Structure formats: structure tokens, C-alpha cells
Chain A
Amino acid sequence: MNRLKKAILFVLIFCCLFISVQYLLMSSTENWMRLRGFYNEPVNSIDIVFFGASHCHHSINPHILWSEAGVPSYVLSQPGQPLWMTYYYMIEVLKYQKPKIMFLETRYAYVLNGQNYDIETDNESAYWSLDAMKMSSNKLRAAVASLRAQDILLSILPVMRYHTEWRPLVKSVYNLLISGRMNSVLNNAILNKGYVYADEIKPFENIKIQNTDKIGKIKGKNLEYLNKIINLSKQEGFSLVFFKAPYPEALSDLEDQKIDNKLQEIAGENELVFLNLNNRIDDIGVEWKTDLYDHDHLNVYGADKVSAYIAKHIKDNFSKYTLEDRRSNCQYQRWNHSSENFFETLKNNIN
């Protein structure tokens, strides 16, 4: 072997080792595994994908959708995920799946509306979303849209951020070498289909309900990417559904409601469905005393009700969305097993 070939081989082995180390370092994080779990799904097997921020993955349980409507779905949201990241996530999804519906949880049309860049929170949420994304031009575009130029390298080489926590790496290597399996986080992510359950109960009382008909303004980057998402749905031929997960503040925050009204207007203009679940609290049956795990997010009991409501909406509109109940489809038997496992695990965990 001549020296040039040796040098090339050395670099190639280094790259393989580097990617493996980086993978193992990140493999203990739930956010990373949520997208990895999605990549793990068989190609063209998912009918619905849910996008948004933490409200999305705390509200939607794909196993309820499966057990109630027989529709395979996945939740692809990360904490604090802005609309621009959702847009690139949608493009990522379309590489592997042909979903009939993409649900967009709209809270972040309000949260980051016209706000200045905040290096602490914005970078962190961008990294959470980007880390698990496979390397591609889409990932680079998502990084450019989300981060300052000097921080992009940190999203391409996440090892620079994860290496300080080297204990999970040791654990992952141990699991791989000794027991020949990845750690339980991946198993959980695959099992949960992106849903994050929390069984704590934090009662919320004395909500000062207010309403407004005024229409707010969606600005800047939020508007740009909302339009991009709508255009993407038209180009790719999937149904786009706006929905807003229930949280108490939405009932009293007038500025938030103004954005909802604007979204209703946009939905109307583009013939889209907007399910503002905060206007249907009674129909869904959400109880603020029992269904929250903090002041803002639903717990497992709330998520069950919301998921059941969404499942009913889907079931009622099977023909509109060209969906079908796949529970008896032999190719989807793993979903039946997976759901059984999930509910069994959930029962054990809650008990």
C-alpha cells in the first residue's frame, strides 16, 4: 500500500470512528432520538405527521390515533421548534414518507412572531432539531435559516457540544459491546412515535377567560415560512391542517388570540382546516385541574383526550383526506404490536 493510499485510509477510518462517536454521544438524548425514531419507520408507511414545538409532542399520542382510527402517524416536534425548522422538517419527511396530512401546531406563529434573535434559547432549540437530521443540503439550509453564521459549525459537528457529557458515551459503548443493543432511549422513541408523556398533574385554576375578534399580524420570518409551508403543501399535494394545542394561557392572552384569528383568515384564504382546540375545550373534555403537567403543557390524561378528538376528526374526514383504516392491513401488524407494547409500558410506568 503506498503512502497516499495509507493516508486516505487513515482519514476514512477516522471519519467512520468520528461519526460513530458523535452518534453515541448524542444517542442518549430524547430529542435526538425522536427524529432517529422517525428515520427508523419503514419508507412510505406513515399517513400523518404532526409538527410544532413541545405543545405538539405533549398533546398528540399516535397510538391513540392508531387504536381509534387505524391511522399510522408520527410526531416530529422539538422543544421550541420555530416555523422555519418545521418547514425543513417537512422537506426531510417528504424524502422518506408520503403523508396524506401534515398537522402544524401553530403556537410558534405567535411565540416567535417578530421577536429578535435570542442566542440562548434560539440556538438551543435549533441544535435540538438539527442534531438528529441526516447530513444533506436540507440540513445545511435549515442550519443557515436558524443559526448565526458562527454557530453553524456547532450544528454540523455536534460533538463540540456533546463531548463534555462523556458518561452516556461510555454507557452506550458498554450497551453496544456487552449487550449488543442501543440504549433504551432509542427503544422508547421508536415505541412512542415521537409522543412525550408526562403523568404528573399540576392543577391550573382561576383562568381569566377573554376573547377578541381582532386580527393580528404575522410578521417577518414567521410569515415567510408559514407561506413556504402552505406552498409546499400545494406543490407536494398533502393536506395541511393547522391546529392549536390546548393550554390555559391561550384563553386569556388576547395577542395570542389575534394571531389565531389571523391564522383562521389565512386558512380560509388557502382552503385549509384550522382546528383551534382552545375553542373546543368542552368538546374535547380537557379539565385544567387534572390534565396539565405544568402550567402550559398537557399531561398523559389531557393528551389522551386531545388525541382522541383528532382521531375522531380524521375518522370523520377519511374520504376528504383519502385515508383508510389500516388496522386490518397485514403490512401494518407491527403497529398493533407496537401499540400494545406502548399501552402496556405506559400502564406499568404510571402504576
Chain B
Amino acid sequence: MLFNSIKYLVFFPIVSITYFAIPFKYRWAWLLLSSYYFYMNWNPKYAVLLFTSTIITYFSGILIEKANNIQHTGNKVRIKKFWVSISIVSNLGILFFFKYFNFLNDNMSYLMDKLGLVWSVPNFNILLPVGISFYTFQVLSYTIDIYRGVTKAEKHFGRYALFVSFFPQLLAGPIEKSRNLLPQFRIEHKFDYDRVKNGLLLMLWGYLKKIVVADRLAILVNSVYGNPFEYEGFILIIATLFFSFQLYFDFSAYSDIAIGSAQVMGYRLNKNFDKPFFSKSTVEFYKKWHISLSIWLNDYLFIPLSRGKCTKFKIYKNIMVVWITSGIWHGANWNFIIWGILNGLYNVLGKEFKQVRDKIIKISKLNTDTFKYNLYRIVITFLLISFSRIFFRAHTFEQAIYIIKNLFVYNPNVFFDGSLFDLMLGKKEFYMALFCVFMLLLIEYVSSKRNLLEELRCKSIVVRWSVYYILIFIIIIFGVYGPGYNPTQFIYFKF
């Protein structure tokens, strides 16, 4: 079920009103039932996969914890390792089969063909189970945390199944750690007017970002990236920059709606974005972008890899491993791997040249504490990130290479001959898109300095309600929806 569908607008009020109306002891069951219904709305068969992952990690969690009671240290460690391995291998196995098998098979076939050998394993005609990368990472973090002894195994199967399938964050995160989310299912959340109101407001903000901005930008991006070979120069640049914004407003909208939905029912999910477009380096950017994935990769990959003596080379190697994993996590496609490598290189080169950069600044006595310098860094970061996203958005490697080769063709005539407005997004809509991006970034900037929500709370009812109505009617009037538009999937659903 899509958050931006009429179905969800009916589903969510029914679920949340019933949730508060029924006694606490039945709430987990109601949410579990609702979450499975939510998931099965997309494809009922794949609920089996979700359930399988739940069962495997539920029992492996209990068995790992049980192994802690074994007196003999050697046996204890061995048994714990055995069960955590079972959990990791089986979950990654399912993920691999559904997401990466065909990719690997194609590459093997290509390689064997080059070597003059025959490789005749057929591809599977399977649909990628939506949200599989997200819930797989979530359940893995659960078993690894139990293995590490930082969290306890959940004995209540229903609550655990709910932790895995909780509908607000099931399809595209935030990837929650069990120690944050599981305890919340054990507490009774009463109806709190202010909390519900703030949750709804966050959802509203998310809908505005998705329906008014991201889906409007998507029209031009899809038009250009659908057949990039027809375009060059400024059109490719504009489509790439638009995609950068589209991806942000799309994914952060999803996160806002997810966090807001959970908040209405009393659950606190972790923040997934923290105004990334104001970052002054790519490292800072990814600390503020898809935060829950960055934390997961850091906690369960980078830190374990960095144990022991860390040479510069080892750190750089680990950074590259993490980024390539991130690329593969996003999709079974060489483009994503290249995207990961590119971002890894940004990180490594940034570290490598930091001393040189600092020296230049010192020698030139450049004042780095100025608006101009900070703006320069923000713009450079944005351009680097946007550049890497060519690989993220292009359908094939050839397309990405074509776009890069033709990115800097100087063709200013597109601004005057109308071809810029001939990309499915007319002139009026094009300027509307730019205006929306500017306004949202401005609001984000202001909200980083002031607590706008709190300021709004202190205003009179007329002002507050006017703001709510304006937001709602901006979505109704200026949103991209209705016949001719299918409710567009959130981009991160496919990962």
C-alpha cells in the first residue's frame, strides 16, 4: 500500500482510531494484523518471506541468548556464533536470491562467454519483494545485538513479529534498532492530543513534499532520464540537479509520513534526515542523509572491520567496503556499485587531501568563517552528490556514461527556444517546481535556526488553522495526482 494512495488515507485513520479504542492487551495483535494487511496489499505471497525472516530471527535470538547460560566459554561462543551465522546466512540468502541472483547470473554468463565457456543457468522471473532490504537489515541488527549482548531477545512472538513488520517503517525505513522500537510495544500509549496533532502535521508536511514537489520534479527527470540520448548540456544538468532534489523530497517525505504515522499512535521512530543539503562536505552529507542506514553500516560493518590496529590504508579500504556495500544494498546493478565507489572516493580523497587543504587555507589566510565560503562548500558538496547520482538514476551504465560525456555541452539556446519547457513539464509547472524547491529549502534553513513548530504552537488558533488549511490546499490544488498520474511509488521502495 502506498502512503500517497487513497487506500492509505482510509487505512490509517481506521487503524489508528481502532488502536486507541481497543484495550492495550490487544493492540499489538491489531497492529500486527494491520501491518500484514498493509504489506499483503502489494503482494500477498511475499508476506511469507517476511514471516520466514521473522521466525528465523525470533528463534535465533532466543537461542543466542540461551547460549549465554552455557558455562563453558568455548562452547558458548561457538553456539552463539552458530546461531548468529544461521540468522545472517539465511536472511542474506533470501535477500540474495530475490535481489541479486539474476544480477550475478547475468555477470557470470557474460564472464563465461568472454572466457569461451558455457553458462546456462536461467534467470528467475521474480519480482523484488518490496522493503526486503530494509527489514532484512533490521532483523540482522536484532540478532547481532543479542549476540553482542547489547539487547535482550524478545520472548513474545507477536510483539517481535510486529517489530519486524510495523507498517509505518516496513517498506522504506527508518531501519530501527530493536532496543529503540521493541520496548515501545510493551508500553501503553494513551491518546495525546498534542502528540497526535504533531504527528499528523508531520505527515501533512511529508505529503506536501512528495505530491507537490518530488512528483512534479519527477515529470522532468523521468522525461529526460527515460531517453537521455536525445538530450545534452543544460538539459542533462537540470535533470540531474532536479533528480537530486526529487530523491531528497521523495525519501524524506516517506520518512516524515512514516515517523508521523508512528507518532500518532505513540511510537517514536528515529530521524532519517537532518537537512542534508546544507552540508559542507560529502561526509557530513551522509551523516544527515538516510541516517538509519548510515548508522547500520557503521555499527555492523565499519566498526567490526576496523577492529585492531588501524592503518590509513585499512581505514580507506574499510570506507570503500562500506560504500560498495551501500551501493549493492541499493540495487543489483553496476551503476549502484559505481555510485558507491564514487562516494567512497569522495570520502577517501577528502580525508587524504584534508591536510593539503588546511595548509592552503592557512597560507592564503582565507577566512573560512564567512557566509560566502560556507555557501561555496555547500554548493560544491551538492554538485558532487548530484554528480554521483547520475549513476543512481540512469537505467544503464551506457546511459550514465553518455550523460557524463554530454553534461558539459554548451547549449544556452535551450533557455530561449522553449526546448527546456518541452520536457513534459510546461513553463508554468517548471517555475512552480523551482519555486517549491526554493521555498522548502528556505523553510528547512529557517527551521534549523528556529523551532518553527513550537513558534506555531504559540500562535493564535486563527493563525495555526490557517497554516494547516494552506498546507492542505497547496497539496489539493498544486499536487501532482489524479487521472493520468498513477500514485507514484516512493523511490526507495525498490531498494
A residues sitting closer than 8 Å to B (CB atoms) are 3, 6, 10, 13-14, 17-18, 21, 25, 123, 151, 153-154, 159-161, 163-164, 166-167, 169
Contacts and interface: CB of A to CB of B under 8 A. Distances in A.
B465 interface: yes
Given A3-B193, A13-B469, A14-B472, A154 B483 contact: yes
Interface string B468-479: 110011001111
A21 B465 contact: no
A14 B473 CA distance: 9
A169 B474 CA distance: 13
A163 B478 contact: yes
Contacts of B473: 17, 21
B6 A153 contact: yes
B481 interface: yes
A164 B479 CA distance: 8
Central interface residue in A14, A18, A151, A164, by most chain B CB within 10 Å: A164
A5 to B, nearest CB: 12
A10 B461 CA distance: 11
Contacts of A6: 461
B479 A17 contact: no
A178 to B, nearest CB: 19
Contacts of B483: 123, 151, 154, 160-161
B351 to A, nearest CB: 48
B116 interface: no
B477 A166 contact: yes
Given A160-B482, A163-B478, 7 more contacts: A13-B469, A14-B472, A18-B476, A160-B483, A161-B482, A163-B479, A167-B428
A148 to B, nearest CB: 12
Interface in B458-495: 461, 465, 468-469, 472-473, 476-479, 481-483
B6 A154 contact: no
Main DSSP-derived SS at the B contact region: helix
Given A3-B193, A21-B477, A159-B476, A164 B469 contact: no
B472 A169 contact: no
A21 B472 CA distance: 12
Given A159-B476, A169-B477, A13 B482 contact: no
Contacts, number: 37
26 contacts: A3-B193, A6-B461, A10-B468, A14-B469, A14-B472, A17-B469, A21-B473, A21-B477, A123-B483, A151-B483, A154-B483, A159-B476, A160-B481, A160-B482, A160-B483, A163-B476, A163-B477, A163-B478, A163-B479, A163-B481, A163-B482, A164-B482, A166-B477, A166-B478, A167-B428, A169-B477
B192 to A, nearest CB: 11
B482 A154 contact: yes
Contacts of A159: 476
A4 B469 CA distance: 18
A59 to B, nearest CB: 31
A167 B193 CA distance: 38
Contacts of B6: 153
A123 B482 CA distance: 14
A167 B482 CA distance: 17
A347 to B, nearest CB: 37
A10 B465 CA distance: 8
Contacts of B481: 160, 163
Nearest to A158: B482
B478 A13 contact: no
Contacts of A154: 482-483
Contact of B465 (A13, A161, A166): A13
B224 to A, nearest CB: 21
A163 B485 CA distance: 13
Central interface residue in B6, B465, B476, B481, by most chain A CB within 10 Å: B476
Nearest to B480: A164
Nearest to B465: A10
Contacts of B193: 3
Contacts of B477: 21, 25, 163, 166, 169
Contact of B476 (A13, A21, A153): A21
A10 B6 CA distance: 21
Contacts of B472: 14
Nearest to B194: A3
A257 to B, nearest CB: 37
Interface in B170-193: 193
Nearest to A169: B477
Interface in B398-455: 428
Nearest to B481: A160
A335 B247 CA distance: 60
A61 to B, nearest CB: 34
A13 B478 CA distance: 20
Contacts of B468: 10
A27 to B, nearest CB: 14
Central interface residue in A151, A153, A160, A161, by most chain B CB within 10 Å: A160
B142 to A, nearest CB: 38
A123 B428 CA distance: 27
Interface in B313-360: none
B151 to A, nearest CB: 38
A25 to B, nearest CB: 8
Chain A to chain B: the 7 pairs with minimum beta-carbon distance, closest first: A160-B482, A3-B193, A163-B477, A166-B477, A161-B482, A161-B483, A159-B476
Contacts of B465: 10, 13
A13 B476 CA distance: 15
Contacts of A25: 477
Contacts of A164: 482
Contacts of A167: 428
Nearest to B485: A164
A266 to B, nearest CB: 37
B283 to A, nearest CB: 41
A161 B479 CA distance: 11
A3 B192 CA distance: 11
Interface in B53-110: none
Contacts of A17: 469, 473
Contacts of A10: 465, 468
Interface string B191-224: 0010000000000000000000000000000000
A229 B405 CA distance: 68
A13 B470 CA distance: 12
Nearest to B478: A166
B223 to A, nearest CB: 17
A105 B84 CA distance: 77
Nearest to A6: B461
A225 to B, nearest CB: 25
A154 B6 CA distance: 11
Contacts of A166: 477-478
Contacts of A13: 465, 469
Nearest to B432: A166
Contacts of B479: 163
Central interface residue in B193, B468, B481, B483, by most chain A CB within 10 Å: B483
Contacts of B461: 6
Nearest to B428: A167
B100 to A, nearest CB: 36
Contacts of A21: 473, 476-477
B483 to A, nearest CB: 6
B23 to A, nearest CB: 21
Contacts of B469: 13-14, 17
A161 B469 CA distance: 20
Contacts of A169: 477
